[in-house]
Amino acid sequence: MPPGFTRLFLMIYSPLQTANFSLAALLILLLPGLAWLVWSRTRRGFLALLADAVGISVSLTALTALAGFYLDSRFTRPLLIGLYGLCALVLLIGLVWRATRAQALRPIHWKGLLLGLLGAAGVLGIIIWRLYQARTLILPAWVDSVHHTLIVRTLMENGGLPATLQPYLPAEFSYHFGFHGLAALFAGITGSEPATTLLWFGQLLNALIALSVFRLATEIWGDWRRAILAALLVGFGLHMPAYYLTWGRYTLITGLLLLPLAMAALLRISRQPHDRSAIIIAILLTTGTALSHYTALLLLGFFTLILVVVSLLQPPIHENNQRLPRWSSVWQVVLAAGIGVLLASPWLLRTWQQLGSQATVGVVSPLDSGQAGYFDYILYLLGPTHNVVWLLIAAAGLLWALLRKPASLLAWWGLLLSLLTLPWGLRLGPWRPDHMAIVLFLPASLLAADLVFILVAWVGRLRWAWPKRLVQAVILLAVGAGMIWSAWQTRSILNPDTVFIDPADLDALNWVRETTPPDARFIINTTPWMGSMYRGIDGGYWLLPYAGRQTILPPVMYTYAEPEYVAQVEQRAEKTSELTSCDAGFWTLVEDFKANYVYVRGDRGSMRSDALASCAQLVNVYRQGGVSIYEIVR
C-alpha cells in the first residue's frame, strides 16, 4: 500500500486515531438522522435508510447552525455533547418503543440482510477508492480549498456561523455553509487540522453521493439492480464527481449529496401524498440543499417544476383504494419544497444582498463564434474516453426514457441540464454551462443503468434459454469490464497543475506557524486567475488559512469585502505578479502592505530565491526543499 494512501486513508498513525475519525464521521453523519427516522413509519431497505439518515443529519446540522446564527448562540463543547446526547437518547427511546410495539419477532429476511451487507461493503469500497484517488495530496487542491479552509477555521474559532471573516478578512460571511459546518464539527471532535478535514471528510462525502443516487434510483424504479449499477457508475465509472477532488469542490459535493435524496422525497410525495413522513423529510432535505450549494438548489428547482408539470398531465393516482386527483399530490410537493426554501430564506436573502447583482438571464446566439473556445472547454470536461462512452449510453437511455413513465421525469430533467450545458441558448447567471456539464453525471448514471437493464429484459424475452442467458451474461460482463476500465483511468485523477503544496511547503507552513509572530505579513507569488481576480501558486497561498498569517493576496473570499478593499487587493496582486527582484516596485509594495516576510518556492512565480538572495535588506531565515523565506529587515 503506497505511503500516501496509508497517510490519507486512515489519516492517522494508530488504531486509536482510526477509531477517532471513524466514530466522528458516524456520529455527525448518522446519529441525528437515525434519531429522526426511528420514529418514521415508512419502511426502507438498509441502504435507503442509511442514505436518508445521512441526508437528514446533514440538513439538521445546517439548520441548527442557521438557528444558532440568528439566536446569537455559540456551539461550545458542552452544548454539542448535550445535542448529540439528546439525539442518542431519542434514538434509544425510539428503538425501545419499536421493540415494545412489535407483537412477535419477525423472521430474518436473509436475502435482504445479504444485500444490505453487500451494499454496505460497496459503499465502504467507494469510500476507500475516493481516498486512494487523493493519496498524493498533502493538503486539498486548487483555489477553492484555500478559502474553504479559512471558513472552517473561522467557524471553529467563532463557535458557529460568523457574521464576518474577521480577523482574517474584512468581508461579510454570506456563503453556502452546509459543508463548512460539518467540517468544523469533524475537525473539532477529532482535533484535526481544518485543511486535513477538508481532504478526508470531503472525500468521504464525495463517496456518499453514490449512496444518494442509489436512494433516488430505488424511488424511481424500485429495482435494486438499477440502483446498484447507478451507484457503481458514480463511484467508479464516470469522471465526475471524482474529478471534483482536483478543484476542491467540497460545497458542491455536499449539495449533490443532498440533491438526489430531496428529489426522491418529493417523488415519493407525488406518488403517496398522504405520507407525512416523506413530506417532513422533503422539507428538511430541501432546506439542507438550499444551505449547502446554490447550484444544487437550482437543479432541485428544475426537478420540482418538471415533477409538477408531469404530475398534472398524468391520470389520477390510487391510494388506499381511493381515486385521488393529481392536484392532491402536486400541491403537497409544492408545499414541501416551498417550506424547505422558506426555512433557508433568511440566509438566502443574506446571500442575495451580497451576490444578487450577479443574477442575470440572457440568451447566447448560436451564431456567436466567440463561444467556440468555451465549447472546447466543455468538451474537455466531458471528454475522457471512458466518460464519453458512459455518456453516450446515458444519451440512448434518455431517448428511451422520454417514452417510458418510470424514468420520463428523470429524462426531461436530464435533457434540460444537457441543453443548459451548451454555450449557446439560455444563460442563467451566475451559473455557467460548464457548471451544468460537471453535474451531468447524476442523470447520466441513472439513465445508463436503466438502459442496461432494459437491454437485459429485452434479451430475456428470447425463446431459447441458453442463447438468452449467454447474451445477458455478455451484456453484464461488458458493463463490468467497462467499470474496471473506467476505474483504472481515474486511479490518478488529479490534475497536477491544481496542486499548490507538497511536503516541503507543509514543512515551511509549520515553521511559519511555530516561529513567526502572529502579526507577520507575507509577500507571496501571485498570478492572474479569472477576470480581475488573482490567485497564489504555491504553499504561500495557504499561509492565512493554515498558519493565520496575512498575505498580500488573501483567499478569494476577499471579493466579498467592500469594493475599495477588493480593488486594493487586486492592484497589489497585479504588481506582485510582475516582481522579479527587490527593485523600487518591490519596496513600494513592502511599504504599502507593511510586509515583513517573503515566501518563494523554487521556479514557481516571477519572484525567485536566487534573485532575492542578493538583496541587502532581505535575510534568508528558512531554506528547505526548494522553499525560501526571507525576513525583511529595515
Whether residue 210 is contained in a domain is answered as: yes
Whether residue 581 is contained in a domain is answered as: yes
Same domain, 402 and 543: no
> Is omega for the bond preceding 517 within 30 degrees of 0, making it cis?
no
Same domain, 605 and 474: no
Residue 399 has pLDDT above 50, yes or no: yes
> How many domains is the chain built from?
2
Same domain, 461 and 356: yes
Whether residue 105 is contained in a domain is answered as: no
Answer yes or no: are the C-beta atoms of 286 and 304 closer than 8 Å.
Answer: no
d(CA 577, CA 38): 57
Answer yes or no: are the C-beta atoms of 625 and 600 closer than 8 Å.
Answer: no
| Confidence tier at 13 by pLDDT (50, 70, 90) | very low
How confident is the model over 411-456, as pLDDT tens digits?
Answer: 999 999 999 999 998 888 899 999 999 999 999 999 999 999 999 9
Same domain, 509 and 485: no
Same domain, 48 and 122: yes
**Given 455, 489, 523, which residue is the final one in a domain?**
489
Measured CA to CA in angstroms, residue 564 lies from 170, 470, 522, 535, 560 at distances of 11, 70, 21, 19, 11
How confident is the model over 346-395, as pLDDT tens digits?
Answer: 999 999 988 888 888 889 988 887 888 899 999 999 989 999 999 999 99
Grid cell of 177 as nine digits: 455553509
**Start-to-end C-alpha separation, the chain:** 50
Whether residue 212 is contained in a domain is answered as: yes
Phi and psi (nearest 5°) for 623?
-150, 110
Same domain, 308 and 443: yes
Same domain, 345 and 278: yes
| Confidence tier at 17 by pLDDT (50, 70, 90) | low
Same domain, 505 and 404: no
Provide the pLDDT for residue 42. 77
Whether residue 494 is contained in a domain is answered as: no
d(CA 153, CA 192): 11
Residue 98 has pLDDT above 90, yes or no: no
Provide the pLDDT for residue 322. 61
How confident is the model over 514-571, as pLDDT tens digits?
Answer: 999 999 999 999 999 988 899 999 999 999 999 999 999 999 999 999 999 999 999 9
Same domain, 374 and 510: no
Least confident of 142-156, 250-264, 541-555, 610-624: 610-624
Whether residue 551 is contained in a domain is answered as: yes
**Given 450, 467, 489, which residue is the final one in a domain?**
489
Task: Tell me, yes or no, if the pTM score tops 0.85.
Answer: yes
CATH number at residue 547: 3.40.50
**How many CA atoms are closer than 13 Å to the CA of 304, on its beta-carbon side?**
25
DSSP string, 257-319: HHHHHHHHHHHHHHH-TT-HHHHHHHHHHHHHHHHH-HHHHHHHHHHHHHHHHHHHHSPPEEE
**Given 442, 458, 489, which residue is the final one in a domain?**
489
Instruction: Round the average pLDDT of the chain to a whole number and report it.
Output: 90
DSSP string, 39-52: T------HHHHHHH
Same domain, 573 and 462: no
Same domain, 621 and 518: yes
Provide the pLDDT for residue 448. 97
Domain with 524, as residue range(s), is 500-632
Answer yes or no: are the C-beta atoms of 499 and 536 closer than 8 Å.
Answer: no
Same domain, 600 and 458: no
Residue 103 has pLDDT above 90, yes or no: no
Provide the pLDDT for residue 2. 40
Section 318-333 average pLDDT = 68
Residue 192 has pLDDT above 70, yes or no: yes
Provide the pLDDT for residue 108. 61
| Confidence tier at 329 by pLDDT (50, 70, 90) | confident
